[in-house]
Structure 1
Amino acid sequence: MEQLNSSDLKAILHSKRANVYYLEYCRVMQKDGRVLYLTEAKSENQYWNIPIANTTVIMLGTGTSITQAAMRMLASAGVLVGFCGGGGTPLFMGCEIEWITPQSEYRPTEYMQGWMQFWFDDQKRLEVAKQFQLARIEFIRKVWDKDRDLKAEGFYLDDLDVQNALDGFEKKIPNLNKVGDLLLAEATTTKQLYKIAATRTGSKDFSRNPEQGDLANDFLNHGNYLAYGLAATTLWVLGIPHGFAVMHGKTRRGALVFDIADLIKDAVVLPYAFISAKEKMSEQEFRSQVLQKFTEHRCLDFMFDQVKAVTMSLKYFK
């Protein structure tokens, strides 16, 4: 096998990378300049290559280990690593609360500096939170209008209950004067979307409870953590620490990850969690479908665009 050096890797912009990995019962290692994971079979051990130059996040689940050499190569390629439980939740350990991040001091500084220009002003921080929520609504409209698989399951943008949920939230946003009020309106809208998804998929008596243990709740947990991985990647690449949240509160160090993940969660994770539960998919099948939709709808691109637009927009800094 030809020896590769990290310097030989072709750089792919994080916003264009396609892969998020969840691994379990394997050993991640470096071999001949490549990062591989080893699975143990009855008759033989099998090696599988991880294309790190096209990967954003690796989540290490039950029964995994990783070598120092593999971590060094992942860091050189800008891949975030998180240790988690079975099915991708919960996250157990990370430097930036959610993730072990590559130690690079050569990331851009202008986005962090732009973020700081508004963040200490309560009113400006609220305006940014409102902008993110408006962007979230527009992304739901875009995805649900475009996605043929969602339409096949009865998710139509022009249905009255969908319009009422999105339009009602959109009209409330300009008149809200506190982050707490915005959080309450957001939670109400998400509950409406849960009801819509449950109705379309015949999931009777659904209630959102991360500890419930039913398939829909489990898939929502799992899909949300995949979205958190994309959000953490976005913030790391742009050099913005996770503690500078605009909506989920300044008391939680990782809260900005939740703010950014919210941009895409309802558009993609929410409907497909219910659809996958209805079809009794395995975790692996659900994960593959959600990651495919993240790529199809360019979710990571959208996150980068929204964060960069806020940090570079002069209207917040007057």
Structure 2
Amino acid sequence: MDQLTDLKAILHSKRANIYYLEHCRVLQKAGRVLYLTEEKSDKQYWNIPIANTTCILLGTGTSITQAAVRMLASAGVLIGFSGSGGTPLIAANEVEWLSPQSEYRPTEYIQGWMHFWFDDAKRLQAARLFQQQRLDYLKRIWGKDRDLKNEGFNSDDSDIAAALDNFSARMAISPNTGDLLLVEAQLTKQLYKIAATRTKQGDFVRDHGAVDDANAFLNHGNYLAYGLAATTLWVLGIPHGFAVMHGKTRRGALVFDVADLIKDTLILPWAFICAKEGATEQEFRQQCLLNFTQHQALDFMFEVVKSVALKTDWAEKCKP
């Protein structure tokens, strides 16, 4: 029991690691979770610091033992099976994630979520709160990150400021979540265009199946964000189906809602920057993880979801 307590000593919102593994075996040995790589002449074991890990993506050529899964679950680490490079996710529960099971997760957040979720007007207001937080986060990070500014991503630039102001104005008067989704998609399309211009990739077209670096990096980075979002919701005990934006018919839509809080801010610009610089997939992934840590992405997700779940002053009329 003491061992399990030690494993959970680091709050999920403070954990630093996401792992993507391929062509290896994940196993438990001597009370640790390791992954084993087999070269032609020897075998090498590498330790996974599970108490400081949020999720693990298992790519092509991987296997995992039951004992390793047991230890990962005891530390609250989510496991996802994925294709090459981390995309797409292909197994198994809760939007392709194998969720650690615990009957001791908090209930106050799901109870707070249910307090507003069945009311269409309140759910729309929650969606607006998510979008406003997303907008504020982008303005804050793009306004202070020196590396992004050096690459031309500054929230004070006229074209970026105009896109954000237009989104804010239209978001405030969106009559339903369908319209809000349309407005949100148009903002992201504008940001793609701005990013392509800044990085001299003017022929860019967003295509999830395309093989160019910018599209591949966007896919990869977005799935990393989904891992953080899934972790946030699991820790807070809120099922992934209770979305506020992406619709009640998508089983894991709340994961997409939460991931959207950071995707445009931390994934989108670096996908284009890394594509311009000819970075490898691993280099891009390391840049994403650095961004998550530097700008406290997981902390931010927890703060937003908790504040919406525990909000008590819902207006009777949520339309402006």
Q: How does 1:141-220 map to 2 (within 5 A)?
A: 141-220=139-218
Higher mean Cα deviation, 148-157 or 64-73? 148-157
Letter in 2 for 1:204: G
The 2-side partners of 1:174 and 1:46 are apart by 55
How far apart, in 1, do the equivalents of 2:34 and 2:155 lie?
A: 43
Matched residue, 1:265: 263
Residue 187 of structure 1 aligns with an amino acid whose one-letter code is A
SS of aligned partner of 1:177 = coil
Provide the residue aligned with 2:281 in structure 1: 283
Unaligned runs of 5+ in 1: none
Secondary structure in 2 matching 1:59: strand
Deviation (angstroms), 1:48? 0.4
C-alpha displacement of 1:9 = 3.0
Identity of aligned residues (%): 68
CA contact (8 A) 1:118 1:317 kept: no
Q: Which amino acid aligns with 2:54?
A: T
In 2, are the aligned partners of 1:5 and 1:33 still within 8 Å (CA)? Answer: no
Cα pair distance change 1:114/1:317, threshold 3 Å: farther
Does 1:52 pair with 2:78? Answer: no
Asked if structure 2 preserves the Cα contact closer than 8 Å seen for 1:91 and 1:98, the reply is yes
Which residue pairs with 2:239 in the alignment?
Answer: 241
In 2, the alpha carbon distance for the partners of 1:317 and 1:105 equals 33
Corresponding residue for residue 124 of structure 1: 122
Preserved contact between residue 235 and residue 242 of structure 1 (Cα < 8 Å):
yes
Aligned partner of 2:62 among 64, 67, 92 = 64
Distance 1:49 1:75 in 2: 16
TM score, norm. by length of structure 2:
0.96
- Could you tell which deviates more after superposition, 113-122 or 35-44? 35-44
CA drift of 1:316 comes to 2.3
The gaps in structure 2 that reach 5 residues or longer are none
Q: Does 1:11 align with 2:5?
A: no
2:130 partner amino acid: F
Distance in 2 between residues matched to 1:47 and 1:265, nearest whole Å: 33
Structure 2 residue aligned with 1:111: 109
Deviation for aligned residue 1:7: 4.4
Normalising by structure 1, report the TM-score: 0.97
Aligned residue for 1:29? 27
Contact 2:199 2:272 in 1 (8 A): yes
Residue in 2 that maps onto 1:133: 131
Tell me, what secondary structure is at the counterpart of 1:242?
coil
Correspondent of 1:91 among 89, 94, 111: 89
The answer to whether the Cα contact below 8 Å between 2:8 and 2:76 also exists between their aligned partners in 1 is no
Aligned length: 315
Distance (Å, rounded) in 2 between the aligned partners of 1:146 and 1:11: 32
Q: Deviations over 1:258-302 (max 9, x none)?
A: 000000000000000000111111111100010110010000000
Structure 1 vs Structure 2 CA RMSD: 1.2
Q: 1:113-165: per-residue Cα shift (whole Å, max 9, x none)?
A: 00001000111000000010010000101111121111111112211110011
Tell me the equivalent position of 2:296.
298
Aligned residues of 2:142 and 2:149 also touching (Cα < 8 A): yes
Residues 170 and 305 (structure 1), Cα distance of their counterparts in 2 relative to 1, 3 Å cut: same
CA contact (8 A) 2:8 2:75 kept: no
State the 1:8 CA deviation: 4.1
